[in-house]
Amino acid sequence: MTVNNPKELFTKMLSDVRQRTEKTAKICQELGDAAQNPQIKEALQSRAFLQDKILSTLDRCFELIGEKPVQISGRMEDVFVEDFRRELAEIKVPAAKALFVLIKANQLMHLRIAEYVALIAMADVTGHLGVGVLLESCLADKLAFVERTRRLIRHTIEIKHDIRLAA
């Protein structure tokens, strides 16, 4: 897609986030299955479930700006999943696998946070304050997930440390 003005860039970026949100639900499902830890699996399945709410919010953003999503040919998620599978296969200890899954989920969410920060700024610049509010709600969701993941990482490390002390 050729970009000729800020609105077209905004539409492209918003389309990119929407497309990635669809893929993120599948990635979270796969991460949860790979974790082999019921708590982590539940957290990541819940994350996948919430993606539908975010997709609805993004669709509302498109309605407000009077545009439709454009097709984006990004491969970032595909590369992320390929690398994840390869690296996970090299980890043999279940506790280390669980920690690795959480780290990768956190990494993915930080990328999303950066996208939302840019989109919110663009919504403000293009005069779509209502869109900015909707995007901020999506950002808040990502920030909450990062905080939850941080606590799960800490909990996973503490459990592993207790096991090591007992040995």
Answer whether residue 106 is part of any domain: yes
Q: How far apart are CA 138 and CA 161, in angstroms?
A: 35
Residue 66, domain extent: 6-166
- Check residues 112 and 1 and name the one with the higher pLDDT: 112
Which DSSP letter does residue 127 get? T
Task: Answer whether residue 1 is part of any domain.
Answer: no
**What is the C-alpha to C-alpha distance for residues 34 and 98, in angstroms, rounded to an integer?**
8
Residue with more model confidence, 27 or 68? 68
User: What is residue 85's predicted lDDT score, i.e. its pLDDT?
Assistant: 86
Residue 69 lies in a domain: yes
* Percent of the chain predicted with pLDDT > 70: 94
- Asked if residue 15 is part of any domain, the answer here is yes
Mean pLDDT of the region 141-167 = 77
Q: For residue 99, is it within any domain?
A: yes
Q: What is the mean pLDDT of residues 99-107?
A: 87
Q: What is the pLDDT of residue 75?
A: 76
Q: What is the pLDDT of residue 160?
A: 62
Distance CA 81, CA 71 (A): 20
| Residue-level pLDDT at 59 | 96
Mean confidence (pLDDT) of the chain = 85
How many structural domains comprise the chain? Answer: 1
pLDDT (0 to 100) of residue 133: 97
pLDDT score for 84: 84
Q: Using CA atoms in the order 32, 34, 35, 37, what is the torsion angle rounded to 10 degrees?
A: 80
Structural domain includes residue 67:
yes
- pLDDT for 164 beyond 60: no
Closest among 25, 19, 159 to 99, alpha carbons compared: 159
CATH number (domain holding residue 22): 1.20.1260.10
Which pLDDT does position 140 carry in this prediction? 95
**More confident call, 72 vs 131:** 131
Q: Would 27 be classed as within a structural domain?
A: yes
Highest mean pLDDT: which of 31-40, 99-108, 157-166?
99-108
* DSSP result, 21-82: HHHHHHHHHHHHHHH--HHHHHHHHHHHHHHHHHHHHHHHHHHHHT--PPP----HHHHHHH
In a domain, 31, yes or no: yes
pLDDT given at position 1: 65
